[in-house]
Structure 1
Amino acid sequence: MEKIKVQDSVGAVLIHDMTQIIPGVTKGPRFRKGHVVREEDIPILLSMGKEHIYVWDQNPGLIHENEAADRLAKAACGPGLTLDEPKEGKITFTAAHDGLLYISEDGILALNSLEYIILATLHNHRPVKKGTKVAGTRVVPLMIDEKVILEAERIAKTFSTPLLEVRPLKSFKVGIVTTGNEIYHGRIQDKFGPVLRAKVEAWGSEVLKQTFASDDISLIQNSIQDHLDQGADMILVSGGMSVDPDDVTPTAIKEMGAELISYGAPVLPGAMFLVAYINDVPILGLPGCVMYSKTTAFDLFAPRLLTGERLSRRDIVKAGHGGLCLDCPVCSYPHCSFGK
């Protein structure tokens, strides 16, 4: 540490808290450890009876925690996020709008593997609202070797996507095809439609229309094609997704020439979930649990599609880690382990 005159301390970094006492008004830290002295602080320090103060030695190559945190946060920050001002070496990332949080898990690991670097986040693909705190970063020491921060900045640039970002959900035109002889012939009331419509609209999209098809492959295919012809950006096909002989929805989708990504997902509820594409239009086969379970595989993957992401089989199978819903009496998703 170094003892210097207050008048010469602009730009210096305080080595300890400095208490200000104003009788009957306040008693507490006026300047915190790590504070960088500014010109306007000089009169205050003098009024506190400080002629000299103790500061960190200004060794070449070392930078203050606030500057380090600022550079670290900017290196990791992508679109859809705002950063607050550094305070005691800490910066918070906040969602700038509603959307889905995307995190480069490998990127976060690489940064945290550097000595003295801390970057803590929420889980990947979590739905967030504007103003949600999604991450925080800081460095451990008050002064850190700039080489560490330069390496963090270099690492962040090696990834093709930002380490953290919030992607907004796009507004899709969604077609619904509800299958099943019992519904098609009016023997029972459709329960899928109201549930799907509510979810689609909550995500900011619109239902183009809902059509009904019996357990007939050609009729299901005609219904899907009709939605495609009318410009659907996504098609939801509900019912007929189990392995019973008369459940023909997966067969109908595959035999249309769709690119099948996955039939089955390591998620409970939602194991019989199907993802396919006809050109760039996602076709989702929805199992019966979507009707009665508040959160299923459908809720994990559909928002990702609404950001414009194209899902791969690897994306689906990775959901097995955290893919077990605990069926809590009061659902608190996404504030739980499901899908994490």
Structure 2
Amino acid sequence: MREASCMIFGELPIEEAEGAILAHSVSTGASSLRKGHVLTRGDIDALQAAGILRVTAARLAATDLGEDEAASRLADALRIDDVRIGPASTGRVNFFALENGLFTVDPAVINGINAVDPAVTIATLKNHDRVQPGQMVATVKIIPFAVDAAIIERIEKQIAGRAAFGIRPFRPQSIGLVQTVLPSVKPSVLDKTKRVMEARVIRNAGMIAGEMRVSHRAADLKEAIRQMASLSDALIVFGASAVADPADIVPQAIREAGGTVHHIGMPVDPGNLLILGELDGKPVIGAPGCARSLKENGFDWVLDRLMAGIGVTPRDIVGMGVGGLLMEIPTRPQPRQAEPAVRPVTVAVALLAAGQSRRMGGPNKLLAQISGEPIVRLSARRALASGGHPVIAVLGHMAGEIEAALSGLDVVTAVNGAYATGISSSIRTALLHVPADTDGMMVLLADMPALAPEHLKRLIEVFAKAGGSAVVRATFDGKRGNPVILPRSLFGSIERLAGDIGARHLIENGDAPVIDVEIGPAAMVDVDTPDDLRTAGGVIA
């Protein structure tokens, strides 16, 4: 393996460390210098005064690129479509979708970059994942503080002219719907199917051109297929009974209408019984019965690609087997041995509402109102809707008034008698009320009215997918924000917090991995001043 950089890394005498980059955070007692900080003469003097004689640090060589510069150069060299590049920070650059659509990626380009040198990495979503505007789709990360410029130059030459990734936006299309009817099929089932299909098509920027319901006979169905195909860009057919053979009613009717049946069946479960056909150059999908529900199934994979202008061939369908087992279906006729239940990951929410609102000039910001509701109550309701439990409201300054504003809500109130000493005392107070079997605690500031339940749910979902062992932190454009979820492994360290500092240094210096989740501007919007309150649409009650 070649060296990632010629930089010098290791312990340095403090008198030789000016201009070096700190590899680990250090404290002078009065202040703390973070990992990645470039040491100044003043820092050296302060560290010497604190009795610190050596530091672990890095010095860049003449041919090195700093981590942010290297990440930016790689990001700028990538050929991407409908994707926004975020700013570089701590050697990372994130990429965000600009459109609703499907993410597409060339694995050879990504794998090629990652094979050049382990110091340079890039990670993306899976090919054909659904994305929304603002969603993070890829990230570049430079592992050390610097890399040799030759490594980045090599990658730039390797990827020149090659499309790396992008978004295929959903295209406005009209979709025709045909359903066959048998006496055993209730009209309510057909009505629900139409509503479900409308929801699917609308979320993909399309519209239902019309619907026909005909008897479950090939002669009737072929006429409906011809008629609806002439009125729409694509056609979806629901048979009243599942397809059992290539000569069954739905595939037979597609052929008799003058169309072609390209493929029957798919290795995605649920969704096995899908039919892929074509009539007059327009896609015709024979939908499996599971597509009558909005739960994800193989039908979604085909419909989404077609509505994003991505062709689907029999070879594509055959290749969907890896990753195609989506869920177990309890109603299967074949008996199956149940797997042992896995306890879900749980998160408590610490709603910090003890502060003194000093920068407001008198009034308590948490009692200010947005749309007629106190900010603290608004924050508590959204915390309750996040799925976290319990929600622990930590009170301090004006505790009685804040508690009254939370009246009727299912929150646990905890009074922090030492609130004047700073935020760490509130975090410790909340921790006393976290159940013993809870996996993590979300620290949520009560003065962030732009946070919606969906933001909080997303953080909890990421925490759960990580097995409850990682720190999960909200970000905006790669910048650290709030809230943050702390895993149980850090609870012991939280108990030792002191002063007006949060858990940031525990996160940065701890052993728990950190996952940053981009949630947009809401991660940075809080209400500290009267101007902040006016910007947020709030008024003093």
What's the offset of the Cα at 1:255? 3.8
Alpha-carbon shift at residue 147 of structure 1 (Å): 2.7
Structure 1's 328 and 128: CA in aligned 2 closer, same or farther, altered over 3 A?
Answer: farther
Deviations for 1:97-126, whole angstroms, at most 9, x for unmatched residues? 332221222222121111122112222211
Given that 2:193 and 2:293 are in contact with CA atoms closer than 8 Å, whether structure 1 keeps it comes out as: no
2:125 alignment partner, one of 116, 122, 125: 122
Counterpart position of 1:286: 287
Identity of aligned residues (%): 25
* Native 8 Å contact 2:269 2:327 kept in 1: no
Equivalences for residues 87-102 of structure 1 within 5 A: 87-102=89-104
**Are 2:178 and 1:144 aligned?**
no
Q: Residues 272, 205 of structure 1: CA spacing in aligned structure 2 closer, same or farther, 3 A cutoff?
A: same
Which amino acid letter does the alignment assign opposite residue 202 of structure 1?
R
Contact 2:223 2:257 in 1 (8 A): no
Which residue is equivalent to 1:71? 73
- Go from structure 1 to structure 2 and tell me whether the alpha carbon gap of 1:242 and 1:305 turns closer, same or farther (over 3 Å shift): same
Alpha-carbon distance between aligned partners in 2 of 1:187 and 1:81, rounded to the nearest angstrom: 44
Residues 48 and 150 of structure 1: is their aligned pair in 2 closer, same or farther, counting only changes over 3 Å?
A: closer
Give per-residue Cα distances to partners, 1:231-259, cap 9 Å, x unaligned. x1111011155116984111221344434
In the alignment, which residue of structure 2 is the partner of 1:237? 237
CA distance, structure 2, for counterparts of residue 18 and residue 270 of structure 1? 52
| Residues 152-209 of structure 1: CA deviation (Å, up to 9, x unaligned) | 22332353xx32212221121110011234389x888524322212222232211010
- C-alpha distance in 1 between matches for 2:212 and 2:179: 6
The aligned amino acid for 2:207 is E
Distance apart, 1:30 and its partner CA: 6.4
Is the counterpart of residue 205 in structure 1 residue 206 in structure 2? Answer: yes
Is the 1:14–1:56 Cα contact (8 Å) retained in structure 2?
A: yes
131-140 vs 239-248, which deviates more?
239-248
The TM-score, its normalising length taken from structure 1, stands at: 0.77
Cα 1:317/1:174, change in 2 over 3 Å: same
Contact 1:241–1:247 (Cα < 8 Å) also in 2: no
TM-score (norm 2): 0.50
Structure 1 stretch displaced more, 96-105 or 315-324: 96-105
Partner of 2:113: 111
| Counterpart for residue 223 of structure 1 | 224
Q: Distance in 1 between matches of 2:82 and 2:149?
A: 28
Question: Contact 2:225 / 2:257 at 8 angstroms: preserved in 1?
Answer: no
The Cα of 1:260 is off from its aligned counterpart by 3.3
Matched with 1:40 is none
Residues 258 and 279 in structure 2, CA contact (< 8 A), matched pair in contact too: yes
How far apart are the structure 2 equivalents of 1:257 and 1:202? Answer: 31
1:86 counterpart = 2:88: yes
Structure 1 residue 48 displacement after superposition: 4.7
SS in 2 for 1:319: coil
Aligned to 2:468: none
- Mapped to 2, the partners of 1:97 and 1:20 lie a distance apart of 45
Which of structures 1 and 2 has the larger relative contact order (alpha carbons within 8 angstroms, sep 6+)? 1
Give the direction of change, closer, same or farther, for the CA distance of 1:144–1:48 in structure 2 (3 Å limit). Answer: closer
| 2:32 counterpart of 1:28 | yes
Query: SS in structure 1 opposite 2:319?
Result: helix
1:273–1:245 distance in 2 versus 1, CA, 3 Å: closer
Distance (Å, rounded) in 1 between the aligned partners of 2:272 and 2:161? 36
Q: Which amino acid aligns with 2:80?
A: G
Deviation at 1:267, TM superposition (A): 0.7
Amino acid at match of 1:203: N
Name the Cα RMSD after superposition.
Answer: 3.7
Measure the CA separation in 2 of the matches of 1:18 and 1:178: 65
* 8 A Cα contact 2:268 2:321, kept in partner: yes
CA contact (8 A) 1:122 1:134 kept: yes
Find the aligned partners of 1:31 and 1:142 in 2 and give their Cα distance.
10
Secondary structure at the residue paired with 1:182?
Answer: coil
The answer for unaligned runs of 5 or more in structure 1 is 4-8, 38-44
Q: Which runs of 5+ in 2 are unaligned?
A: 1-7, 13-17, 47-56, 331-343, 345-456, 466-541
The structural deviation recorded for 1:50 is: 6.4
CA contact (8 A) 2:22 2:34 kept: no
Q: Helix, strand or coil for the counterpart of 1:243?
A: coil
Counterparts of residues 169-318 of structure 1 (less than 5 Å): 169-182=170-183, 190=190, 191-230=192-231, 232-239=232-239, 240-243=241-244, 247-292=248-293, 294-318=295-319
Aligned partners of 2:274 and 2:317: how far apart in 1?
A: 10
Paired letter, 1:325: L
Question: What SS class does the counterpart of residue 80 from structure 2 fall into?
Answer: coil
Asked if 2 retains the 8 angstrom alpha-carbon contact of 1:241 and 1:286, the reply is: no
CA-CA distance at 1:307 after TM superposition: 0.9
Alignment map for 1:20-59 (pairs within 5 Å): 27-29=31-33, 32-33=36-37, 45=40, 48=43, 56-59=59-62
- Contact kept? 1:221, 1:253, Cα under 8 Å: yes
Provide the rounded CA distance (Å) in 2 between the counterparts of 1:85 and 1:50. 32
String of CA shifts for 1:201-220, please: whole Å, max 9, x gaps: 23221101001222333332
Classify 1:261/1:70 alpha carbon distance in 2 versus 1 (closer, same or farther; 3 Å): farther
- Any idea what the Cα deviations from partners look like across 1:45-69, whole Å, max 9, x if unmatched? 4655669xx9735424x32222221
CA contact (8 A) 1:76 1:156 kept: yes
For 1:6, the equivalent position in structure 2 comes to none
Cα offset, 1:321, TM superposition: 0.5
CA contact under 8 A between 1:120 and 1:136: conserved in structure 2?
A: yes
